[in-house]
Chain A
Amino acid sequence: MVSVEKEMKVFDLEAASSMVKELRDEFLSGKTRSYEWRVTQLKNIIKMSEDREQDIVKALHSDLGKPEFESSIYEISMLKNACTLAIKKLKQWMKPEKVKTSLTSFPSSAEIVSEPLGVVLVISPWNYPFLLSIEPVVGAIAAGNAVVLKPSEIAPATSSLLAKLVGEYLDNSLIRVVEGAVAETSALLEQKWDKIFYTGNSRIGRIVMAAAAKHLTPVLLELGGKCPAVVDSSTNLKVAARRIVAGKWGCNNGQTCVAVDYILTTKDVALKLVDALKHELEGFYGKNQLESKDRSRIVNSNHFARLTKLLDEDKVSGKIVHGGERDKANLKIAPTILLDVPRDSLIMNEEIFGPLLPIFTVEKVENSFDVINSGTKPLAAYLFSDNKKLKEQFVMAVSAGGLLINDTIIHLTVDALPFGGVQESGMGAYHGKFSFDAFSHKKAVLYRSFAGDAPVRYPPYTNGKLKFMKALMSGSILGVICALFGWSKN
């Protein structure tokens, strides 16, 4: 058997540095500035997603056991939408924005011009390895940047497919994929980028930001957190349960940055909620929920071990009210619900990122907000309620990247909304025009005419000039006239 392998060159500091230099030179040639170049790349991304849909679905299944339908809809369709929107709006986004000018700079005109930052780095995670790699790249391209993508090595089939597809469909002189793990990522992080876009966990987020600080590189960090769902007694439990199941096990088996991490509710609602959840789970996944093909598996044995550790902690033993079964060989854990977990258990303090749903009970539903605020700010927070006052309290009191009332996850699909975290859940936002803005520098441009030079600005400084300036700054025409005549307005 003959195996033909290309000689694998190690991607080290030197390789990284020369790659960035190449991209920068190409960027400076001005190629990415044209509307045509950008639209061509975006159209090619759509073509790539459509032509190779089956390959993408296969790779996602290999890496995550992701059902075809989740791959088609939550990864490929969402990506295509992002491209379509960018293509539709690009001309508008690229146009300079005229702004008003005031008396202080009269006569003048001004505008804000969007320009690309230059050469940017996108580091993507393993849970939505296609969408979360290409969606930021779409923003980078729309804004006219050269971009390097480093996909996660924990989703190797997708990483290698991305390298292949980008190589085939996009302009390699300006868009590259670098595969690898810690060594390659470190080599990349040593370089000077004009922006780094990172999606992942806060530990690596800190490493990225620290590397960026050396070069004064701005960063956009999409991190995570424990996204809570508060369930109120006034809610329609059946629908709430269905939407919670969809927003947990229906999204990559809970391995989603905005998945419902845990539930907050009162004791009386908790039991009814558990029943409703069990009912919906059976509707979705049948009787053998552990082996159901309609759920992703756990990504790898590290995460499997991490999750089983959360389940096996003494503090939570006896709290499992549904599921708990595992299949180590196939990296599967059944949809599991725990009731009344202690506040200081591991499962209530770490981001779960898996198919375990703890329910934490409180005396009054309003106490939920204190529980949420006692932790770090999450990427999303959910509330299921029909109570107007409670909804308003929720919006006022809870700080998170985004809030969604009476549903889960879908706020991500609204491209008119910025998607990003706050504090520990991240900094910066993207989606829709926010993606374009995230990869742009908004340059202020002021045009002054040579006429209308106000001598009052210039030395030698006198009190007369001071009076005139005060009037000018206050925008008061009367004051200006008075000052001109040497009168005081008082």
Chain B
Amino acid sequence: METWRDLERDLEDMREYYRHGKTKEASWRKSQLKGLLTLLKEKEGDIFKALKQDLGKHHVEAFRDEIGTLTKTVNTALESLKDWMSSKTAKLPRIALQTSAEIVPEPLGLVLIISSWNFPFGLSLEPMIGALAAGNTVVLKPSELAPACASLLANAISTYLDNKAVKVIQGGPSVGEQLLQQRWDKIFFTGSAHVGRIVMSAAVKHLTPVTLELGGKCPAVLDSLSSSWDMKVELMKNIIKEMFGENPKESHSIARIINKQHLLRLKNLLKDPHVDASIVYGGSVDEDNLFIEPTILVDPPLQAAIMTDEVFGPLLPIITLEKIEDSVQFINSRPKALAIYCFTKNKTLQRMMISETSSGSVTFNDTIIQYAADTLPFGGVGESGFGRYHGKFSFDTFSHEKAITRRSFLTDLWFRFPPWNNYKLQLLESAFNYDYLGLVLVILGLKRHRQRSAGI
């Protein structure tokens, strides 16, 4: 347990280490990324165990969603690092004689990553990969609601990465509060909108830029395709049985609810008699084993909490509409979500979805998979957050794009300088319009400027 003074001293040490410039070197960044790769390989078994313990997550799911995607991300970062770190030339107009301009990415400095409990490795390390690739020193605060994972992260990171530059600080809300009081060069937060507001408010003190990856109610719009909705519900029931067997609780392929508090929250969503009446499948809750079976509801009341709050659990309400196009209005009358899914072959509906709704992302004919696409920015808009990451976007999110312009002494647009007169004004106007012919004409005295009153 760190005391306030210890924390401040540790952070100052990390800033000092950053100032020495080690983390800016490409070789250091590569070594950290390779360290993560080794961590993921060697600690795979322990990671599976920790996820099983905290979330009841099956190890294949853990691989698919956490280790596998992280490995892919580290490999992409290693391959692309040189390119990401390189400066980009900025094109200049011809009048900028003997001038060159470029954009150089530089690390922000000391960054804070706060991650959530649902993908405790993925959501901790995915941003960290970007932060390290960008040359920053990093403090990670993993969620205390997944304690085995948090503790494994702390141990593993101190073993595989540079301790002077990367630290894991464990703890609950009070530790989080302490950390938010410190001065950071960036805060990357994944979690709820409620805590997101707290994080951004705390960041005001030091004008720290933040990225907030929040949530929301992500809808899946299901077009009629080939069957009616009740046939689709039957289909879903069958698929659930296929995936999880007759008794999902016995199947090890389905995760548990994280803790009692969330289980009760979810149980409460079903309490309303009208909501309860709309359950067509599942609905059983095993409090002792933190298990809720896959549950489908059809047309629960729209004002019920299950339709106003983010579910974040195994309950799936289905809302039926007259026309599928009505889903656009339905979605737009609610806060913007992190993702919209739409299952349709109808190109018009697809276009409507993209241009008439707003969300972090839109995925057609699948779910979740956009998370694995490195070339797509992953982030929210409105209530679902702001900022983005994945692939190069992670690198950029933890970088400052520094603009660098170099001039020569030899050439000067002499008409830049006072004392002012109309002649210089004409030249400047032509220059600003990149009107090279105009410039020449003015110099040759062949262009008359429209009259200006100098009645000042």
Chain A residues within CB distance 8 Å of chain B: 28, 30, 33, 53-54, 57-58, 61, 67-69, 72-73, 77-78, 80-81, 84, 99-102, 104-105, 108, 110, 112-113, 115, 117-118, 194, 202, 205-206, 209-210, 212-214, 216, 218, 221, 223, 235-236, 239-240, 242-243, 245-246, 250, 283-286, 294, 373, 386, 391, 395, 399-407, 410-411, 413-414, 416-419, 422-424, 426-429, 441-450, 457-463, 465-466, 469-470, 473-475
Apart from A448-B366, A460-B244, 16 more pairs, CB < 8 Å? A33-B355, A54-B452, A67-B418, A68-B452, A80-B432, A216-B197, A216-B382, A221-B207, A246-B416, A403-B403, A414-B96, A418-B403, A422-B400, A422-B402, A450-B365, A469-B64
Asked whether B253 lies within 8 Å of A459 as measured between CB atoms, the reply is yes
Contacts of A416 in B (CB 8 A): 90-92, 101
* Binary flags per residue of B299-332, CB closer than 8 Å to A gives 1, else 0: 0000000000000000000000000000000001
Bound form: Cα–Cα A411–B358 in Å:
35
Checking A68, A112, A236, A417 against B420 with a beta-carbon cut-off of 8 angstroms, the contacting residue is A68
Chain B residues within CB distance 8 Å of chain A: 19, 58-61, 63-64, 68-69, 71-72, 75, 90-92, 96, 101, 103-104, 106, 108-109, 185, 193, 196-197, 200-201, 203-205, 207, 209, 212, 214, 243-245, 251-254, 332, 345, 350, 354-356, 358-366, 369-370, 372-378, 381-383, 385-388, 400-409, 412, 416-420, 424-425, 428-429, 432-433, 452-454, 456
Contacts of B253 in A (CB 8 A): 459-461
Bound form: Cα–Cα A283–B420 in Å:
11
Asked whether A443 lies within 8 Å of B207 as measured between CB atoms, the reply is no
Bound form: Cα–Cα A448–B383 in Å:
26
- Which residue of chain B has the shortest Cβ distance to A465 in the bound complex? B60
- Which residue of chain A has the shortest Cβ distance to B209 in the bound complex? A427
Asked whether B382 lies within 8 Å of A411 as measured between CB atoms, the reply is no
- Which residue of chain A has the shortest Cβ distance to B365 in the bound complex? A448
Checking B101, B362, B417 against A250 with a beta-carbon cut-off of 8 angstroms, the contacting residue is B417
A262 vs chain B, min Cβ distance (A)? 20
Asked whether B358 lies within 8 Å of A61 as measured between CB atoms, the reply is no
Checking B369, B383, B402, B432 against A402 with a beta-carbon cut-off of 8 angstroms, the contacting residue is B402
Contacts of A405 in B (CB 8 A): 404-407
Q: Quick one: given A209-B204, A212-B200, A406-B409, are A73 and B369 in contact (CB under 8 Å)?
A: no
Asked whether B364 lies within 8 Å of A446 as measured between CB atoms, the reply is yes
Q: Which of B71, B193, B374 has the most CB of A within 10 A?
A: B374
- Which residue of chain A has the shortest Cβ distance to B355 in the bound complex? A33
Asked whether B60 lies within 8 Å of A99 as measured between CB atoms, the reply is no
Checking A101, A113, A414 against B90 with a beta-carbon cut-off of 8 angstroms, the contacting residue is A414
B226 vs chain A, min Cβ distance (A)? 11
Asked whether B361 lies within 8 Å of A403 as measured between CB atoms, the reply is no
Contacts of A284 in B (CB 8 A): 417-419
Checking B201, B386, B412 against A210 with a beta-carbon cut-off of 8 angstroms, the contacting residue is B201
Checking A72, A205, A446 against B361 with a beta-carbon cut-off of 8 angstroms, the contacting residue is A446
Number of A-B contacts (CB under 8 A): 283
Bound form: Cα–Cα A118–B335 in Å:
13
Contacts of B252 in A (CB 8 A): 461
Checking A61, A72, A400, A447 against B402 with a beta-carbon cut-off of 8 angstroms, the contacting residue is A400
Asked whether B362 lies within 8 Å of A446 as measured between CB atoms, the reply is yes
Asked whether B209 lies within 8 Å of A110 as measured between CB atoms, the reply is no
Asked whether B418 lies within 8 Å of A294 as measured between CB atoms, the reply is yes
Contacts of A449 in B (CB 8 A): 365
Asked whether A443 lies within 8 Å of B361 as measured between CB atoms, the reply is yes
Contacts of A108 in B (CB 8 A): 366, 369, 373
Checking B401, B402, B428, B454 against A73 with a beta-carbon cut-off of 8 angstroms, the contacting residue is B428
Asked whether A459 lies within 8 Å of B243 as measured between CB atoms, the reply is yes
Contacts of A73 in B (CB 8 A): 425, 428-429, 432
Bound form: Cα–Cα A194–B335 in Å:
12
Contacts of B332 in A (CB 8 A): 28
Asked whether B373 lies within 8 Å of A102 as measured between CB atoms, the reply is yes
Contacts of A473 in B (CB 8 A): 68-69, 71-72
B355 vs chain A, min Cβ distance (A)? 7
Checking B59, B355, B403 against A419 with a beta-carbon cut-off of 8 angstroms, the contacting residue is B403
Residue contacts A-B, CB under 8 angstroms, 8 given: A78-B432, A113-B354, A202-B207, A213-B197, A250-B418, A469-B63, A469-B64, A473-B68
Contacts of B193 in A (CB 8 A): 216
Asked whether B417 lies within 8 Å of A246 as measured between CB atoms, the reply is yes
Contacts of B203 in A (CB 8 A): 209, 213
Asked whether B64 lies within 8 Å of A457 as measured between CB atoms, the reply is yes
Contacts of B454 in A (CB 8 A): 68
Q: Quick one: given A67-B420, A77-B432, are A446 and B401 in contact (CB under 8 Å)?
A: no
Asked whether B197 lies within 8 Å of A443 as measured between CB atoms, the reply is no
Bound form: Cα–Cα A443–B363 in Å:
10
Q: Which of B185, B376, B378 has the most CB of A within 10 A?
A: B376
Contacts of B432 in A (CB 8 A): 73, 77-78, 80-81, 413
Bound form: Cα–Cα A402–B104 in Å:
10
Bound form: Cα–Cα A417–B429 in Å:
21
Q: Which of A33, A104, A242, A401 has the most CB of B within 10 A?
A: A104
Bound form: Cα–Cα A447–B374 in Å:
15
Asked whether A77 lies within 8 Å of B207 as measured between CB atoms, the reply is no
Give 10 closest A-B pairs by Cβ, nearest first. A461-B60, A459-B253, A402-B403, A213-B200, A416-B90, A444-B361, A444-B376, A69-B420, A218-B386, A99-B375
Asked whether B420 lies within 8 Å of A443 as measured between CB atoms, the reply is no
- Which residue of chain A has the shortest Cβ distance to B359 in the bound complex? A443
Asked whether A112 lies within 8 Å of B377 as measured between CB atoms, the reply is yes
Bound form: Cα–Cα A457–B207 in Å:
43
Asked whether A446 lies within 8 Å of B68 as measured between CB atoms, the reply is no
Checking B196, B358, B409 against A115 with a beta-carbon cut-off of 8 angstroms, the contacting residue is B358
Asked whether B406 lies within 8 Å of A206 as measured between CB atoms, the reply is no
- Which residue of chain A has the shortest Cβ distance to B98 in the bound complex? A406
Asked whether B375 lies within 8 Å of A101 as measured between CB atoms, the reply is yes
B454 vs chain A, min Cβ distance (A)? 6
Bound form: Cα–Cα A58–B452 in Å:
12
Asked whether B207 lies within 8 Å of A401 as measured between CB atoms, the reply is no
Asked whether B377 lies within 8 Å of A444 as measured between CB atoms, the reply is yes
Checking A209, A402, A466 against B207 with a beta-carbon cut-off of 8 angstroms, the contacting residue is A209
Asked whether B361 lies within 8 Å of A445 as measured between CB atoms, the reply is yes
- Which residue of chain A has the shortest Cβ distance to B107 in the bound complex? A399
- Which residue of chain A has the shortest Cβ distance to B429 in the bound complex? A77
Contacts of B417 in A (CB 8 A): 242, 245-246, 250, 283-284
Asked whether B405 lies within 8 Å of A402 as measured between CB atoms, the reply is yes
A18 vs chain B, min Cβ distance (A)? 19
Asked whether B363 lies within 8 Å of A206 as measured between CB atoms, the reply is no
Q: Quick one: given A72-B429, A214-B197, are A294 and B419 in contact (CB under 8 Å)?
A: yes
Bound form: Cα–Cα A457–B63 in Å:
10
Contacts of A373 in B (CB 8 A): 19
Contacts of B374 in A (CB 8 A): 102
Bound form: Cα–Cα A118–B358 in Å:
10
Contacts of B200 in A (CB 8 A): 209, 212-213, 216
B216 vs chain A, min Cβ distance (A)? 11
Bound form: Cα–Cα A391–B408 in Å:
12
Asked whether A443 lies within 8 Å of B404 as measured between CB atoms, the reply is no
Q: Quick one: given A416-B90, A443-B362, A462-B60, are A403 and B254 in contact (CB under 8 Å)?
A: no
Bound form: Cα–Cα A84–B382 in Å:
30
Q: Quick one: given A246-B417, A403-B404, are A411 and B412 in contact (CB under 8 Å)?
A: no
Asked whether B401 lies within 8 Å of A429 as measured between CB atoms, the reply is yes
A343 vs chain B, min Cβ distance (A)? 19
Asked whether B404 lies within 8 Å of A285 as measured between CB atoms, the reply is no
Contacts of B196 in A (CB 8 A): 216
Asked whether A448 lies within 8 Å of B207 as measured between CB atoms, the reply is no
Asked whether A110 lies within 8 Å of B382 as measured between CB atoms, the reply is no
Checking B197, B207, B408 against A427 with a beta-carbon cut-off of 8 angstroms, the contacting residue is B207
